[in-house]
Amino acid sequence: MKKMKKIGPVDTLSLVDKVELRLMQYFKENNLKPGDPISREIDLSESLGVSRTVVREALLRLRTLGFIESKKHRGMIFKEPDIINNFERILDPTLLGANTLKSLFELRLILEMGMADFLFEYKTKEDLEELENIVRTEEETSYDKTVFSLDKEIAFHGKLYQISKNTTLQRFQDLLLPVFEYLYQQEEFKNNGTYAYSSGKFVTHRMLLDNLKVGTPETFRNAMRRHLEPHFDRIFNSK
Amino acid sequence: MKKMKKIGPVDTLSLVDKVELRLMQYFKENNLKPGDPISREIDLSESLGVSRTVVREALLRLRTLGFIESKKHRGMIFKEPDIINNFERILDPTLLGANTLKSLFELRLILEMGMADFLFEYKTKEDLEELENIVRTEEETSYDKTVFSLDKEIAFHGKLYQISKNTTLQRFQDLLLPVFEYLYQQEEFKNNGTYAYSSGKFVTHRMLLDNLKVGTPETFRNAMRRHLEPHFDRIFNSK
């Protein structure tokens, strides 16, 4: 009996998928740098042996992802995609599911727990003064220290992200803000903005700031952990 | 003299930009859920009063971002975008600039420093056994403990990300792997894979594992900080 070759899986990529992948490969092989010109649609169509409609659709995708820009009178050029930009366009809390939102909130806790070394490495006198002002304003306007205020939370923590000097992190924080605002409007936070903290050991923004002034990354992490205690509690208890 | 109104800025959004934004707004207003049908291109074109070409391009963008899926014989449906997917398509280290790569590498350090509480909350007996196997294999095959091995690094740290149970984090790690592989091939790491660790206090994977078994998130974070010492050194010294 004739030995049969195994039947392999059918290639399910669409023609546009293939052209998209092929173009990316072509950019890499040619080591394109931002600003380098890209062949015209009609030329690509001829080289690739596919219709202009297919090429156009693939180019549109790459443009949406940020690899291509069209310049007036200059045609298309290659560019380095902005890694946060696409993220930004889809991070709309009202369109994301509960699991995704939870996962993003956890990510925020992880980032704030993990950034201490960068804060101590890059903090300046001016940064500490700015934090001092944020905390003082907060103290002057808060009668009840256990009431949660989103604005003050954002002012203080946003400044910390800024001190980290990591731009990806900062922009990630910026675009997560609507997610947090959305979450804080839910359940536990709905109760007139009041959140009953779980223990007397709660660390305030003032204590975090003092720690950043005279402590170490190690002591700061422990203080931040206590500061975030209500959020950790909420996540680990809702399992 | 006739009081003139100030001249306002010209709206620089293209027609496609506007249709894209309008469609997103329309999805939200109608509180669309994954699987809900979306009007046909021709109907949208009529309702919006723009050409089918413009509608098609806006729809293509939303499809690229993951908000729309075309189903055979069912037309277009709405879906929840996969927040990591777009990221994945652009995170090609050979196409990213040096600053972006540095920023992503720092982000990895921040994530690993920050995930301790999740590891202690979710670790299981099976997880610890799996880590035990990874570490044992590593010990059996490493003659010189100071030689850096990317494979072993990935096996161990990848498992930690998995224990965190945060899917966004896990997938983020998966897609950052090529970035790390790329970075490890550069400069310091090029020297035959050898990396001279900066001090005798270096914490091994074995010590991290022991810590995860009997320690606390606090002791684990301190151990992880020492484990990552060479990377922190490299980043803070290259300023």
ipTM above 0.90, yes or no: no
pLDDT tens per residue across span A60-111: 888 888 889 888 777 899 988 776 666 666 666 667 777 778 888 898 999 9
| Cβ within 8 Å, pair A80-B97 | yes
Element (DSSP H or E) covering residue A64: helix A52-65
> In chain A, what are the domain boundaries?
15-78, 86-237
What superfamily in CATH does domain A86-237 come from?
GntR ligand-binding domain-like (1.20.120.530)
Distance CA A86, CA B66 (A): 11
Of B86, B92, B236, the CB nearest to A90: B86
Q: In this complex, is the C-beta atom of A25 within 8 Å of any C-beta atom belonging to chain B?
A: no
pLDDT tens per residue across span A167-211: 888 877 877 777 777 777 665 554 444 444 444 467 899 999 999
Q: Does domain B85-237 have CATH number 1.20.120.530?
A: yes
Distance CA B17, CA B56 (A): 12
CATH of B15-78, one of 3.40.120.10, 3.40.718.10, 1.10.10.10, 3.40.50.300: 1.10.10.10
pLDDT tens per residue across span B166-214: 888 887 787 777 777 777 766 555 444 444 444 446 789 999 999 999 9
Chain A residues 86-115 with CB within 8 Å of chain B = 86-87, 89-92, 94-97, 99-100, 103-104, 106-107, 109-115
b/e string for A107-145 if b means 16 or more Cβ within 10 A?
Answer: bbbbbbbbbbbbbbeebeeebeeebeebbeebeeeeeee
3-state secondary structure B50-81: CCHHHHHHHHHHHHHHCCEEEECCCEEEECCC
Residue (of B97, B62, B57, B64) closest to A167 by Cα position: B97
Count chain A–chain B contacts defined by CB atoms under 8 A. 151
Over residues B146-155, the mean pLDDT reads: 72
Contacts of A79 in chain B (CB under 8 A): none
Of B27, B167, B221, the CB nearest to A103: B167
